Structure 1
Amino acid sequence: MPETGTTTPTDPWEYSLYIPNDPRAVTVSRRTLRLILTMHGLNGLVDVAELLAAELVSNAVRHTKGPAALRVRWAAGVLRIGAWDADPAPPEPPVPLERVAELEEGRGLGLVRACSDLWGWQPLAREGNRGKVVWCELAAA
């Protein structure tokens, strides 16, 4: 296991955390992500990654009825955070950045778009899994 520190890992890795449709899963996902990133020496990405993961998982839990999963992958200096859910419908488009601060709800993907380097979604239908993954990427600082 790599030691924690400030060096950026070069070997790729990937984790999936399957979660129930329960609002408490957002906190579990955030804390798990913090542990993963800390153990891999990516301390500089923790705060932003935690915010992004919370928004993605919150949307998956709030807007769908089935299970969900947090997916985290590191490769080529890029952290990809994704939330899978069983609903194949596309996510609602993000609100414009200038409206994010004035809204009390519906600003999650606006924050994801504003705080990540890249984001998107893709439908899934493989290995018995259906639904979609909404993802975002952060490059190592």
Structure 2
Amino acid sequence: MVTVAPPDTWSYALRLPHDPRAARVARMTVRAVLGGHGRQEVLEAVELVTSELVANAYLHTEGPATLRLTAVGDGRLRVGVWDSDPHVPAPFAKPPGNRLALAPVERENGRGLYLVQEYADWWGGWPLGRNGGKLLWFEVGGRFGA
């Protein structure tokens, strides 16, 4: 039996070890996949937010992470990052319409997840149980319902 997917849908997954170079590997993967599919118009946003999520997975967990890039149709691209920590941080724990305040200028960290609000069209996160970690995702491109 042959399965045929519509030409505008595809999916790639990459398992990333707990390694400080994982964010760089994720960026290189995003560039290769989006370049290969002619999606340069979303490359900068996807690369930036993906890098932030993978870097946070490395900083806040002790285990591996998984990156999944999926073209879901209508020009939308969904990126998911799984890690072993079940805590879902803001802004993923809030509906996309609820914007977070910016971190104070004097803080050296805490600004990264605000990039999601600026570059993604839609986002969310799910805890996957006490030992299952979490999945954070975002979407860019395409048409979104009003």
TM-score by length of 1: 0.81
Q: CA deviation at 1:101?
A: 5.9
- Larger proportion of helix: 1
Contact 2:14/2:68 (8 A) holds in 1: yes
Match of 2:87 in 1: 89
Cα distance 1:118–1:75, how it changes in 2: closer, same or farther (>3 A)?
A: same
Cα distance 1:56–1:28, how it changes in 2: closer, same or farther (>3 A)?
A: same
Q: CA deviation at 1:102?
A: 5.5
Match of 1:5 in 2: none
Q: Which structure 2 segments of 5+ residues have no match?
A: 1-5, 92-98
- Larger proportion of strand: 1
Match of 1:78 in 2: 76
Identity value in percent: 46
Matched, 1:61 2:65: no
Paired residue total: 129
User: Structure 1: how far apart are the matches of 2:111 and 2:27?
Assistant: 18
Matched, 1:120 2:118: no
User: Structure 2: how far apart are the matches of 1:90 and 1:13?
Assistant: 27
Instruction: Specify which of 9, 21, 43 is matched with residue 46 of structure 1.
Output: 43
Match of 1:131 in 2: 133
Instruction: Specify which of 108, 112, 121 is matched with residue 112 of structure 2.
Output: 108
Corresponding letter in the other structure for 2:51: A
Cα distance 1:103–1:130, how it changes in 2: closer, same or farther (>3 A)?
A: same
Contact 1:100/1:110 (8 A) holds in 2: no
- Structure 1 residues 117-138: Cα deviation after superposition (integer angstroms, max 9, x where no partner): 011101236xxx8211111110
User: Structure 2: how far apart are the matches of 1:119 and 1:103?
Assistant: 25
User: Structure 1: how far apart are the matches of 2:133 and 2:17?
Assistant: 15
Cα distance 1:31–1:101, how it changes in 2: closer, same or farther (>3 A)?
A: farther
* SS at 1:130 equivalent: coil
